[in-house]
Chains A and B, each alone.
Chain A
Amino acid sequence: MRVSGAKALVEALKDEKVEVIFGIPGGSTIPFYDALYECAEKGELRHILARHEQCAAHMADGYARAKGIPGVCTATSGPGATNLVTGIAVAHMDSSPVVAITGQVPRSMIGRDAFQEADIVGIATPITKYAFQISKASEIPDTMKAAFMLANTNRKGPVLVDIPKDVFYEEVDYMEAERVRIGGYVIKSGDPHPYSIKRAVGLVLESERPLIIAGGGVIASNASAELARLAEIIPAPVATTLMGKGSIPEVHPLSLGMIGMHGKGEANMAAEEADLLIAVGMRFNDRTVGRMEKFGENAKIIHIDIDPAEIGKNLGVDVPIVADARKALAALADRLIEVGIRKKENEWSRRIAELKEKYREFYNSEESRGSLSPKRVMKTLRSAIPERSIVTTGVGQNQMWAALHFQVLQPRTFITSGGLGAMGFGFPASLGVKVACPDRPVFNIDGDGSFLMTEQDLATAVVENIPTVTIVMDNRVLGMVRQWQCMFCEKRYSETDLGKVPDFVKLAEAYGAEGIRVEDYGGLESAIRRSVDAEVPVVIDVPVSPDEKVLPMVPPGKTLREVVWFG
């Protein structure tokens, strides 16, 4: 089949079973969009027109995380491509499979500082798993095959494919690509080495106080059932990282909630007191472990990760298991059953129960500072929406309130920018999630500062009919920075007071969405219940005091024991 490069790209996307692309056209991608024109007519390859390329990238990322397959975004050369960068960096830090396609100036113009030229391959190399620049149309089928293969295998991540405009016009014989080989890249089986499993089992049997810490890798490898099974067999309580939230239902008796800077008291104390840490699909990030050199000082550490470079990157470990989380957890559980398991009731489980009891009152208290308490807002949301709803978050206090007080019951239902912490992520990500899972209610918990970074894509939500619900924790300040200024800068609130934010109800209405302002918990609950099945996007404005804090908090550089409870 003799086709243009642009058509070859479309065919390659269809071969990869891509159903939706998020993007904005531009000068360099006009031929690609022209090829998409017929797809629209035939109802293939839905294109969702974003209002900012950053949002297109976050949408693709949200789509990927909810559905577990790669999300695709596209932008034109130069400014279009550079606007994707934040979104690509988020996907990179959180190991999310995103394929980004960028237009480039024609080959003859590359390197001449042509109009709308940017070296996006150079810019994106440090924040992608791989960045390609195509030099002739015949490379398109194989390169696209390779891009999807790289994005979605081993440790997942974003891949960028940059295509010069004239390549889109060049003719090529199209044939679906066979499996491609890229240099030294090998798709791993993910099987754990039996010797590592044997050593790990030895440590488990020796331990008195084991704790499992589950990260985003557990969710990426769909290992939730295996995680719960292992935890029950040992038995060991399970703390999760922010990215691991939802890997075990947070109502499971062994679930301790999130660990780390804003982790739960019981999770942090359990990590301090444990004599064995089984870290799965997590990378000992500073926000998770507090003071790095003190973390796990008194414990043996088993580290399970698909990426060998994570072993020993931040922390030395006793037993590394380079493997897929699901396979490693299953192998550990099987082997433990073979060698005989421990008694269920022991000193450690009593201690965990005691820790949970100790902090119960703090988490159940409903004290607030005049307006609505964030804690109770999160609980109200949880009780008012179906279990299968998917929640995305912005970044900042709203995100940590959600992480602490919103119970997640299923994997892939809590989607947040963990590694990069990019404000503005939540709302566009929620749109991608809703496109991936149209039958599920999708709620975005956001802050006013975070929402205002990407709210222009309400236009996309309305025009493309993507009804998600955004709950704006509206405190008129950049809350997390202000909290640090309060706690560590003697209340010198430098530039964190937004002064005035738009009327979010009118803002939503201006776009053709629905806006609801709530004054009390009753109003909040009915607004949430009403919007579960809303047919238009909804923005719920929830007034919160600027003095509300995210607590408890482990100050930066401190150990998980050095928690601040009141501020």
Chain B
Amino acid sequence: MAEEGMRIISAIVEDRPGVLFKVTSLIRRRGFNIETITVGGTEKERVSRITITMRGNPAVVEQLVKQLSKIPDVLKISELEPEESAFRELALIKVSATDPSKRSDILNYISIFRARVIDASKDSLVIEIVGQPRKVQAFLDLMKGFGVIEMAKTGTVALARGARSSSSSTSSSSSSSSPPD
């Protein structure tokens, strides 16, 4: 299930200096209100994917897509249907864990949420959780009760489900099954 009202825009761009600036500069200048933005590589060399999530009515999203399309470095841009996309966010959460009983409670939650501990010390744990933004948020809310020392989150990364591809010009219409998240 997608977050209500959340829109995901996926832009395939040339990986060259200044492209991210051109994209964010346009977003700022036109006054679009985005929630998250992530950038990273793709299966192709010198091609990056920028994933933007925002809340907004269809006209606003359509206008953002049209404006971003005007940047010559943008090779392809599309709005992903949340229902037909896989999307994930990663959070690292450092939780206070001095008390042994609390520590075991935390480890229980970690197991339920399929998160994992990536660093442990006498007083704290660093936990990694990957999932849909809502699941990450739910886990974070639980951890707040134990004392979150600090937290870092990525924005959302997303791909269309099935064989469809937004980064290549050849796309196939066949789709795979959608396993539950």
User: Interface residues, chain A, CB within 8 Å of chain B?
Assistant: 121-122, 125-126, 129-130, 133, 150, 182-185, 307-309, 311-313, 316
* B73 CB-CB contact with A under 8 Å: yes
Which B residue sits closest to A121, measured CB to CB? B18
Q: Is the CB of B72 within 8 A of A182?
A: yes
Task: State which residues 65-122 of B face A: CB under 8 Å.
Answer: 66-67, 69-76
Q: Which 6 residue pairs are nearest across A and B when measured between Cβ atoms?
A: A309-B66, A185-B72, A184-B75, A183-B73, A182-B72, A183-B14
B59 at the interface (CB under 8 A from A): yes
B31 smallest CB distance to A (angstroms): 12
Report yes or no: B59 in contact with A312, Cβ–Cβ below 8 A.
yes
Contacting pair A122 B21 (CB below 8 A): yes
Q: How far is the CA of A313 from the CA of B75 in the complex (A)?
A: 22
User: Which residues on A sit within 8 Å (CB–CB) of B69?
Assistant: 184, 308-309
Given A184-B73, A309-B63, A313-B63, 19 more contacts at CB 8 Å?
A: A122-B21, A125-B18, A125-B22, A125-B25, A126-B25, A133-B17, A133-B18, A150-B72, A182-B73, A183-B75, A184-B69, A184-B72, A184-B75, A308-B66, A308-B69, A309-B69, A311-B66, A313-B66, A316-B59
List chain A residues, Cβ under 8 A from B18.
Answer: 121, 125, 133
Docked Cα-Cα span, A182 to B73, in Å, equals: 7
What are 7 inter-chain pairs, A to B, with CB distance below 8 A?
A125-B22, A150-B72, A182-B73, A183-B71, A183-B73, A184-B74, A312-B62
How many residues in B have their beta carbons less than 8 Å from beta carbons of A? 22
Closest to B70 in A: A309
B44-76 CB mask vs A (1 if < 8 Å, else 0) is 000000000000000100110011011111111
Looking across the interface, which residue of chain B has its beta carbon closest to that of A313?
Answer: B63
The proximity string for B residues 13-29 relative to A, scoring 1 for CB distances below 8 Å and 0 otherwise, is 11001100110011001
Q: How far is the CB of A447 from chain B (nearest CB, A)?
A: 30
Name the distance in Å between A124's Cβ and chain B's nearest Cβ: 10
A126 adjacent to B63 (CB under 8 Å): no
Give A333 to B21 CA distance when docked, in angstroms.
44
Q: Which chain B residues border A311 with CB–CB below 8 Å?
A: 66
A432 to B21, CA, bound (A): 33
Bound complex: CA A126 to CA B30 (Å): 10
Min CB distance A262 to B, Å, is 27
Q: Is A184 a contact of B63 with CB atoms below 8 Å? A: no
- Tell me the nearest residue of chain B to A126, going by C-beta: B29
Contact present for B74 and A183 (CB under 8 Å): yes
Instruction: Using CB atoms, name the residue of chain B closest to A132.
Output: B18
Cα(A150)–Cα(B71), bound, Å:
11
Q: Name the distance in Å between A147's Cβ and chain B's nearest Cβ.
A: 11
Q: Which residues of B contact A121 (CB under 8 A)?
A: 18
B17 to chain A, nearest CB (A): 8
Smallest beta-carbon distance B99→chain A, Å: 49
State how many angstroms separate the Cβ of A358 from the closest Cβ of chain B: 38
Closest residue of A by beta carbon distance from B76: A184
Name, among A121, A182, A309, A311, the residue most crowded by chain B CB atoms within 10 Å (CB to CB).
Answer: A309
In the complex, residue of chain A having the shortest beta-carbon distance to the beta carbon of B68: A309
- Kindly identify which residue among B21, B63, B74 contacts A125, using a CB–CB cutoff of 8 Å: B21
Chain A residues within an 8 Å CB radius of B62: 312
Closest Cβ of chain B to A121, distance in Å, is 7
Contact check: which of B21, B29, B63, B72 meets A312 at CB < 8 Å? B63
Q: CA of A311 to CA of B66 in the docked complex: distance in angstroms?
A: 9
Give the shortest distance, in Å, between B79 (CB) and chain A (any CB).
15
* Complexed CA–CA distance, A311 and B70 (Å): 13
CB of B57 to closest CB in A, whole Å: 12
Q: Closest Cβ of chain A: how far from B49's Cβ, in Å? A: 14
CA distance A194 to B177 in the complex (A): 38
What distance in Å separates the Cβ of B14 from its nearest Cβ neighbour in chain A? 5
Interface residue from A126, A129, A183, A313 paired with B13 (Cβ < 8 Å): A183
Enumerate chain B residues within 8 angstroms of A308, measured Cβ to Cβ. 66, 69
Q: What is the bound-complex CA distance between A244 and B76, given in angstroms?
A: 33
Q: Across the interface, which residues of B come within 8 angstroms of A313, CB to CB?
A: 63, 66
Residues of B within 8 A of A312 (CB): 59, 62-63
Q: Chain A CB within 10 Å — which of B22, B26, B70, B71 has the most? A: B70
Q: Which residues from chain A contact B76 at a C-beta distance below 8 Å? A: 184
List residues of B (1-47) whose CB comes within 8 Å of A's CBs. 13-14, 17-18, 21-22, 25-26, 29
Give the residues in chain B near A150, CB-CB below 8 Å: 72
Q: Which residues of B contact A130 (CB under 8 A)?
A: 72
How many angstroms between the C-alpha atoms of A416 and B180 in the bound complex?
60
Q: Give CA–CA (A30, B59) in the complex, Å.
A: 49
Chain B contacts for A183, CB-based, 8 A: 13-14, 71-75
* B17 contact set on A, CB distance < 8 A: 133
Instruction: List residues of chain A with CB within 8 A of the CB of B13.
Output: 183
Cα distance, A133 to B63, chains bound together (Å): 28
- A307 to B22 alpha-carbon distance, docked (Å): 19
| Residues of chain B in range 103-151 having any CB-CB distance to chain A below 8 Å | none
Residues of chain A contacted by B75 (CB below 8 angstroms):
183-184
- Cα separation A126 to B22 with both chains bound (whole Å): 8
Nearest CB of chain B from residue A29's CB, rounded to whole Å: 22
Task: Determine whether the beta carbon of A307 is less than 8 Å from that of B70.
Answer: yes
Q: Are B26 and A126 in contact (CB under 8 A)?
A: yes
Residue of A183, A312, A316 with most chain B CB atoms under a 10 A cut-off = A183
A465 to B86, CA, bound (A): 67
Q: In the complex the two chains form, what is the Cα distance from A185 to B77 in whole Å?
A: 12
Q: Complex Cα distance A184/B71, Å? A: 8
Point out the residues of chain A lying under 8 angstroms from B63, CB to CB.
309, 312-313
Nearest chain A residue, comparing its CB with the CB of B19: A183
A309 to B71, CA, bound (A): 11
Q: Which residues of A contact B67 (CB under 8 A)?
A: 309
Which residues from B are CB-within-8-Å of A182?
Answer: 72-73
Instruction: Give Cα A150–Cα B18 distance, bound, in whole angstroms.
Output: 18
CA A255 to CA B25, docked complex, whole Å: 41
How far is the CB of A157 from the nearest CB of chain B, in Å? 10
Q: Which of A129, A184, A307 has the most CB of B within 10 A?
A: A184
With both chains docked as a complex, state the minimum distance between the C-beta of B178 and any C-beta of chain A, in angstroms. 29
Within the complex, what minimum Cβ distance (angstroms) separates A471 from chain B?
Answer: 36
Cα A129 to Cα B14 with chains together (Å): 17
Minimal Cβ-Cβ distance residue in A for B13: A183
Chain A residue with Cβ nearest B73: A183
Give min CB distance, A339 to chain B, whole Å: 31
Name which residue of chain B comes closest to A181, CB basis: B72
Q: How far is the CB of B173 from chain A (nearest CB, A)?
A: 23
CB-CB < 8 A to A129: which residues of B? Answer: 72
Q: In angstroms, how far is the closest chain A Cβ from the Cβ of B102?
A: 48
Which chain B residue lies CB-closest to A146? B72
Distance in angstroms between the alpha carbons of A121 and B25 in the assembled complex: 12
How long is the Cα–Cα vector from A129 to B13 in the complex, in angstroms? 16
